[in-house]
Amino acid sequence: MQTAPHDFRTATIPHSDPKQTPLFGDAATTDIGSRVRKYFETSGFSRWTAIYGSGDIPPIWRVIRDGHQRAIDEVLSFIETDKHHTALDAGCGTGNLSIELANRGYEVDAFDVSAPMIHFAKYINTGRTKGIPPNFMVGDIASLAGADKTFDLVCCLDVLFHYPYEEVATMLTGLAKLSSHKVVGSFALRTPFNDFWMKVGQRFHAKNRMTKLFMFSYDQVEQILYRAGYKMARTKRIKFFFYDSFVFEAVRR
Ligand SMILES: C[S@@+](CC[C@H](N)C(=O)[O-])C[C@H]1O[C@@H](n2cnc3c(N)ncnc32)[C@H](O)[C@@H]1O
């Protein structure tokens, strides 16, 4: 099982200061942003490092692991024939996608708002790539400064559903500015069926949940990307039991 060798939640974690990297500015963190960060630094850290690892986990988490792997495979199929060199993996988690990109020859900058997650990603991915190891950093998508640096490819997989529409609009616009060719990401698709189950879930679990799930229509996301100078190229809804992620590839118009 891919477990942490020591407690990453309480360890003193040496990590890059987001303000010292040219990618990030000073945007104020929203209430939702603070809650999401806190979740992924504490209980969410344990949960998602287990789900994204390779050890034994409960069957219900296994569904998420297998569904997520299908989403990663879809992202990799979107970039299969690209001759790109640089990539940014925003909200990289344990770095599963970052490593796949590095193995395909990309120079990868990867960041996550959770410092323990980045520490863990650095730890488990040491020596795991044939290519240049990803540069893992702590940082918040909401505070991307739209810096001088751009990337051929910008990815943001299974992150945006933690945020409401206005915040997603700011985040996706910031990510799009940092890409010179392609943005690949995912969101939770709003459908009557998903709406119904979300309401049921909120009724029974709302008090225990540190994060909320926000769903969007295809048109809402397409519009944000269009305004940012992109058009949708390919999409695929990855539905595997209850794992449901709408993966998209957007290219510059
Ligand atoms: C469900 S995990 C997905 C991880 C990774 N993208 C993947 O697909 O393997 C969501 C990750 O997004 C990170 N995250 C959430 N909000 C973020 C933000 N505003 N900026 C950067 N990372 C964020 C969390 O800390 C967590 O590691």
Please determine, for residue 180, whether its predicted confidence score (pLDDT) is greater than 80.
yes
pLDDT at 14: 55
Please determine, for residue 4, whether its predicted confidence score (pLDDT) is greater than 50.
no
Please determine, for residue 195, whether its predicted confidence score (pLDDT) is greater than 90.
no
Please determine, for residue 138, whether its predicted confidence score (pLDDT) is greater than 60.
yes
The mean pLDDT value for 167-189 works out to 97
Closest ligand 1 atom to residue 155 Cα is 6
Closest ligand 1 atom to residue 95 Cα is 9
pLDDT at 105: 96
Ligand 1 centroid to residue 117 C-alpha, Å: 9
Q: What is the mean pLDDT of the chain?
A: 91
Please determine, for residue 209, whether its predicted confidence score (pLDDT) is greater than 80.
no
Percent of the chain with pLDDT over 90: 77
Q: Which of 148, 149, 120 is nearest to 136 (CA)?
A: 120
User: From the CB of 39, is ligand 1 less than 6 Å away?
Assistant: no
231 or 9, greater pLDDT: 231
Ligand 1 centroid to residue 160 C-alpha, Å: 8
Name the pTM for this structure: 0.93
Residue keyed to tokens 């939770």: 188
User: From the CB of 167, is ligand 1 less than 6 Å away?
Assistant: no
pLDDT at 25: 83
205 or 117, greater pLDDT: 117
Alpha-carbon distance 123 to 140, whole Å? Answer: 20
User: From the CB of 188, is ligand 1 less than 6 Å away?
Assistant: no
Closest ligand 1 atom to residue 142 Cα is 19
Helix axes 59-78, 43-51, angle to 10 degrees: 70
Alpha-carbon distance 223 to 209, whole Å? Answer: 30
User: From the CB of 141, is ligand 1 less than 6 Å away?
Assistant: yes
Alpha-carbon distance 216 to 247, whole Å? Answer: 13
* C-alpha gyration radius of the chain: 17
CB 53 within 8 A of CB 128: no
User: From the CB of 119, is ligand 1 less than 6 Å away?
Assistant: no
Alpha-carbon distance 179 to 147, whole Å? Answer: 11
Please determine, for residue 1, whether its predicted confidence score (pLDDT) is greater than 50.
no
User: From the CB of 159, is ligand 1 less than 6 Å away?
Assistant: yes
The residue whose CA is least distant from atom 8 of ligand 1 is 157
85 or 4, greater pLDDT: 85
Alpha-carbon distance 144 to 170, whole Å? Answer: 10
The mean pLDDT value for 191-203 works out to 83
Percent of the chain with pLDDT over 70: 89
* Residue 230 dihedral angles phi and psi, to the nearest 5°: -120, 155
What domains, with CATH codes, occur in the chain? 33-252 (3.40.50.150)
Alpha-carbon distance 182 to 142, whole Å? Answer: 19
Task: Write the DSSP symbol of residue 144.
Answer: B
Select from 15, 112, 244 the residue to mutate for testing ligand 1; criterion: most ligand atoms less than 8 Å from CB.
112
Alpha-carbon distance 9 to 94, whole Å? Answer: 14
Ligand 1 centroid to residue 176 C-alpha, Å: 17
Please determine, for residue 49, whether its predicted confidence score (pLDDT) is greater than 80.
yes
pLDDT at 178: 95
Q: What is the pLDDT of residues 72-83, one digit of tens each?
A: 999 999 999 999
pLDDT at 206: 61
Give the burial class of 141: count Cβ atoms within 10 A of its Cβ; 0-12 exposed, 13-18 middle, 19 or more buried. Answer: buried
Confidence tier at 3 by pLDDT (50, 70, 90): very low
The two tokens of residue 228 are: 């940012």
Residue keyed to tokens 């979300």: 198
Select from 34, 97, 159 the residue to mutate for testing ligand 1; criterion: most ligand atoms less than 8 Å from CB.
159
Beta bridge partners of 24: 144
Closest ligand 1 atom to residue 96 Cα is 9
